[in-house]
Structure 1
Amino acid sequence: MPPATGSSARRLSWGLLARELSAFGVVGAICFAIDVLLFQVLYAHAGLGAVTAKLLATLASMSVAFVGHRFWSFSHRARTGLQRESVRFAVINGAALLLGLAVVGFVRYPLQQESALVLQLANIGSIALGTVIRYVGYRQWVFPAHPAAPEADVTTRMR
């Protein structure tokens, strides 16, 4: 089958991007629910500190996210090894986690907010910011595209 060219390649590319974004969104929504609910339970009901609750909630949702993204959202991309992908995934999520901890910590301590609602809003805002970092990082660095197929040589194309 000849490779897609022109507008058919663009349609295929946009279709693949739409499916990838949709799967990323579904996994993200599940992980968002885990993060928000676990943060609420740990902070408002278990009595943990806001930053500790954010850390534990994010670690739990991050574990679910790795499985969902590796085996569904980005399953069509190159497999570069579980260890490599895990380490890179952890680095990107570590950066997003530090951002989230900084936001929640800033709202809780310098701004002296103790309300579970206010801290949950800070948590949700940090998740939104982290989502952009995670999507770009996963797509470019953790689950890269397959290498481009080599062009057929001139003699093959001339037949």
Structure 2
Amino acid sequence: MSQLSLIRDTYIRFQVLVHEVAKFGVVGAIGFVVQLGVQNALYPGHGVGAVTAVVIAYTVATLVTFVGNRHWAFKHRKGGGLGQETMLFVALNVVGIFIQVGIVYFVVHGLGHGDRLSYNIATIIGIGIGTMFRLFTYRRFVFRTPAAPASAEQLEPETSGR
């Protein structure tokens, strides 16, 4: 078996996962930009504390990422319906924010590094750990079962000229 066929066979085997992770990453990148933009607009200088700014920004980013994940990244999966998916998504994001806020709190208040660089580095580390948690839990609990693994939506849009 050539190395190219091994790569192709591995891709085919994990095609749905690869597409989900790629789309989850795009949605997450948009959420990341939203979060950093909102929190840096609020802290420092606008009377909003470091942790409060993270919570507000995280809430706004969560709304954006729920729409992106439900209607694009995990569109091909069957969940428990909008109500159940929303409740689970929110509950798991509460855990995710505790991961992120815990890291920011530790750096800003525990270590005393309240400067913008330390604050943003702590936020990025918290987002990274929280993202790994969310990817696993969204696939496992929120958007549970692939509707049709072999026909999952492709990353490229289909052309109508076929």
TM-score for the superposition, normalised by structure 2:
0.81
Q: Distance in 1 between matches of 2:10 and 2:78?
A: 20
Counterpart-to-counterpart distance in 1, 2:76 and 2:10? 17
In the other structure, the counterpart of 2:89 is: 89
- In structure 2, the partner of 1:62 is 62
Q: Is the 8 A contact 1:107 1:122 kept in 2?
A: yes
| CA contact 2:104–2:123 (8 Å) conserved in 1 | yes
* Residue equivalent to 2:158: none
- The CA RMSD measured in Å over matched residues stands at 2.0
Query: Which residue is equivalent to 1:151?
Result: none
Contact 2:79 2:145 in 1 (8 A): no
TM superposition shift of 1:108: 1.1
User: What percent identity do the matched residue pairs reach?
Assistant: 35
Q: What is the deviation of 1:120?
A: 0.9
Q: Deviation per CA, 1:47-93, whole angstroms, max 9, x where unpaired?
A: 31000000001000001000000000000001421110001001111
Give the CA deviation at 1:101: 1.0
Using the alignment, how far apart are the partners of 2:65 and 2:13 within structure 1?
A: 24
> May I ask how many residue pairs the two structures share in their alignment?
142
Residues of 2 paired with 1:90 and 1:15: CA distance? Answer: 28
Alignment-derived partner of residue 121 in structure 1: 121
Paired letter, 2:67: V
Aligned residue number for residue 71 of structure 1? 71
Structure 2 stretches of 5 or more lacking a match?
A: 1-7, 149-162
Aligned residue in 1 for 2:17: 17
Residue 46 of structure 1 deviates from its aligned partner by 1.9
* 1:105-144 superposed Cα distances (whole Å, 9 cap, x missing partner): 1111121122011111101100000000000000000000
Maintained 8 Å contact 1:36/1:124: no
SS of the residue aligned with 1:16?
A: helix
What letter is aligned with 2:65?
A
1:11 Cα deviation after fit: 5.1
Q: Tell me which amino acid in the other structure corresponds to 1:63.
A: L
Structure 1, unaligned stretches of length 5 or more? Answer: 1-7, 149-159
Task: Please tell me whether the aligned partners of residues 32 and 61 of structure 1 are also in contact (alpha carbons under 8 angstroms).
Answer: yes
Letter in 2 for 1:65: T
